Amino acid sequence: VSISNFFYHGEYTMVNITFPDGNIKAFENALSGIDAAKSISDGFARNCVAMELDDSLVDLSSVIDHDAKIRFITTKDPGSLDILRHSAAHVMAQAILRLNKNAKLTIGPAVENQFYYDIDMDPISEDDFPKIEAEMKKIIKEKLPIRRRVVPKAEAMDFYKDEPYKLEMISDLEDETISFYEQGEFTDLCRGPHVPHTGFVKNVKLIKVSGAYWRADPSKPQLQRIYGSAFFDKKELNEYLTFLKEAKKRNHRKIGQALDLFSFHEEALGMPFFHPKGMDLWNALLDYWLHENREAGYVETKTPIMLNRSLWERSGHWENYRENMYTSAIDDIEYAIKPMNCPGGMLLYSRKPHSYRDLPLRVAEVGLVHRHELSGVLSGLFRVRAFHQDDAHLYMTSAHIKDEILGVLKLSERIYNAFGLGFLLELSTRPEKSIGTDQQWETATRGLAAALDAYGQDYQLNEGDGAFYGPKIDLHIRDALNRTWQCGTIQLDMSLPERFNLHYIDKDNERHRPIMIHRTVFGSIERFLGILIEHFAGKFPLWLSPLQAIILPINDDLVPYANEVLATLKQADLRAEVDSRTESLNKKVREAQLQYIPIILTIGGREKEASTLSVRTLDGNVKYVVSLETFLNTVQRHIRDRSLSLEF
């Protein structure tokens, strides 16, 4: 087949299409993407959603009028779900406009596993979903073709003259032409692409509704943000809905309230209050963190929560991060509450001379930081304004990079394993805007890659997404529901050592700039606790549980003996209590189970007489006639080993 650009045969123009396998097929005239798909087979075409035309993602209705490379996006292609969900957002918006002609549309993107549309309308609730979904089903059943139309910007503005949000968006665009998508009577401002017709959106479900400010600005109107999800396969939709139900049951805010761990108050929005049981959980987590860090050769420091403006100007935060910082004036000098720990760490390093013999130097700090977040994005422990970072700064020479990165990876693995958390790795390289020389970036990136290769776990390369001051490795943990959370990070920094003029004396007796690594494992301790609450669904392993054991005497006469047992448990550093209320034993057992207390100890007359215990674990297993010595040996072994399961 000839691959010259055009052959003329009377009124026809020959078009040559190159498919992904390298095959070239000639067509006697321009044709649409759907026609090209049908040239393979009608069955194949029915499963096509969109296509890549010369590496641009476009609708199947797009005309191919020149020699081109194409790749079809089918329903099996992972990228097809975003296209489907974007189209589902349009179907939902069309249904709402049919039900409420006064509603004003803004934007409706696809997001992870879902879609949403922000609409200016009277508040609705999930009780309104069946009516909206019924109208959506009508639109889906109509199989309305979804067509793209491109018009001059002036014509688009005239079309949307009565739609303030669309008009504002068009005004902000620099494009000379604007694309619309039409399905039946519905038209929406959109770049696309979309599925060929509304019939593709047959497996769809609305999920939740919340408030959202237009363009995330509290001074602008509050909109109704309606979320939904869509899949090509009904089974996958049902599996996702089941996942959402399980995630809802594990909601850390709900469990945190039920277990009396933490709370939020209007007097300090976005700043959590931890209760006594929450602090038991917090301290168990931090004790483990401290143990692992000390074993890995870290020293611990603490820096002030407020530092003056000159420091933040020196670090670059005043110029680049000022809008997220809280400030105050002391003695007419402007101060800022720290949004991160790094600048204070730089001052500690620079307080005295360092030799190459001091390196590598591993310095850890659990620092309380504050960052201004809009109230609309605050989300339990996951998004707060005040949180603690388990920070560490490692100072080294270039020869240390590989081993130190490898050490951080192994430390992170040990810590995550203690919670049964797997993790994924991602290496992000130099972005377009960056500081440092090509040689510095090459050395740093090569060091990170070498450490990852030596570590031996697969990682994803994320080109151009590093920090402006250096490449980084991100660790994405995977929880019990198979969700991923970016927690740990390892960042090479070529900016702060320069800004703070850090140095060490090398073997040549000359001053050299150290290489610095920022490192976190938990990231935000508050957020990590929220993840753990949902990961364990509140049923923490024994070593982490806020209350590890509860003692239930079956009558008042046995309360003194129960208190003797309690004293023995506390002497062994167990977190335990006696429930001496005048309630039935069954009720107290049930309430202890609802509080997810790992061990329930029942004491009756026989137990007192024989100095034994009846031990009930959270999984419902009961072991009778357990000596106190055996009990203590067993639980202390589980706590020492940080076991995830409990067996007697």
User: Quick one: pLDDT at residue 467?
Assistant: 82
Sheet holding 622-627, edge to edge: 576-578, 549-553, 599-603, 612-617, 622-627
Any idea what the Cα angle at residue 604 is, between residues 602 and 609, rounded to 5°? Answer: 120
Is the pLDDT at 630 greater than 90, yes or no?
A: yes
* Structure tokens that stand for 239 in this block: 């599996």
Sort strands 306-308 and 333-337 into parallel, antiparallel or unpaired: antiparallel
Model confidence over 557-606: pLDDT tens digits?
999 999 999 999 999 999 999 999 999 999 999 999 999 999 999 999 99
Is the pLDDT at 435 greater than 80, yes or no?
A: no
3-state helix, strand, coil in the chain (%, to 5): 40, 30, 35
User: Quick one: pLDDT at residue 505?
Assistant: 96
Residue 78's pLDDT band, with cuts at 50, 70 and 90, is confident
Is residue 336 exposed (0-12), middle (13-18) or buried (19+ Cβ within 10 Å)?
buried
CA 82/CA 87 separation, integer angstroms:
9
Model confidence over 177-189: pLDDT tens digits?
999 999 999 999 9
CA 485/CA 247 separation, integer angstroms:
14
User: Quick one: pLDDT at residue 12?
Assistant: 53
Query: Which residues, listed in sequence order, are joined to residue 612 by a DSSP beta bridge?
Result: 627
User: Quick one: pLDDT at residue 7?
Assistant: 37
Model confidence over 343-353: pLDDT tens digits?
999 999 999 99
Query: If you average pLDDT over residues 325-337, what whole number do you get?
Result: 93
Is the pLDDT at 5 greater than 50, yes or no?
A: no
160 vs 2, which has greater pLDDT?
A: 160
> Looking only at Cα atoms, what is the longest distance across the chain?
108
Q: Which of 529, 534, 526, 539 lies closest to 248, judged by CA? A: 534
Query: If you average pLDDT over residues 74-97, what whole number do you get?
Result: 96
User: Quick one: pLDDT at residue 6?
Assistant: 36
Query: If you average pLDDT over residues 638-645, what whole number do you get?
Result: 94
Query: Which residues, listed in sequence order, are joined to residue 419 by a DSSP beta bridge?
Result: none
Q: Which of 488, 408, 403, 492 lies closest to 443, judged by CA? A: 492
Contacts of 275 (CB under 8 A, 6+ apart): 260, 261, 262, 263
Residue 8's pLDDT band, with cuts at 50, 70 and 90, is very low
User: Quick one: pLDDT at residue 265?
Assistant: 95
Model confidence over 477-522: pLDDT tens digits?
999 999 999 999 999 887 889 889 999 999 999 999 999 999 999 9
Packing angle of the helix pair 276-295, 525-536 (nearest 10 deg):
110
Is the pLDDT at 63 greater than 80, yes or no?
A: yes
Q: What is the pTM of this model?
A: 0.84
Residue 374's pLDDT band, with cuts at 50, 70 and 90, is confident
CA 358/CA 171 separation, integer angstroms:
59
Q: Quote the strand ranges of 498-578, DSSP E.
A: 504-505, 511-512, 515-524, 549-553, 576-578
Residue 1's pLDDT band, with cuts at 50, 70 and 90, is very low
Model confidence over 396-410: pLDDT tens digits?
998 898 999 999 999
Contacts of 143 (CB under 8 A, 6+ apart): 197, 198, 199
CA 385/CA 292 separation, integer angstroms:
28
Residue 192's pLDDT band, with cuts at 50, 70 and 90, is very high
Any idea what the Cα angle at residue 498 is, between residues 493 and 501, rounded to 5°? Answer: 130
Is the pLDDT at 10 greater than 80, yes or no?
A: no
CA 228/CA 224 separation, integer angstroms:
13
Is the pLDDT at 4 greater than 80, yes or no?
A: no
Model confidence over 285-313: pLDDT tens digits?
999 999 999 999 999 999 999 999 999 99
Catalytic residues: 342, 371, 389, 391, 393, 472, 518
With tokens 């080109």, the residue in question is: 463
Query: If you average pLDDT over residues 603-617, what whole number do you get?
Result: 93
What is the pLDDT of the chain when averaged over all its residues? 93
CA 521/CA 473 separation, integer angstroms:
12
CA 122/CA 106 separation, integer angstroms:
15
Instruction: Give me the amino acid identity at 607.
Output: E
Model confidence over 537-553: pLDDT tens digits?
999 999 999 999 999 99
Is the pLDDT at 377 greater than 70, yes or no?
A: yes
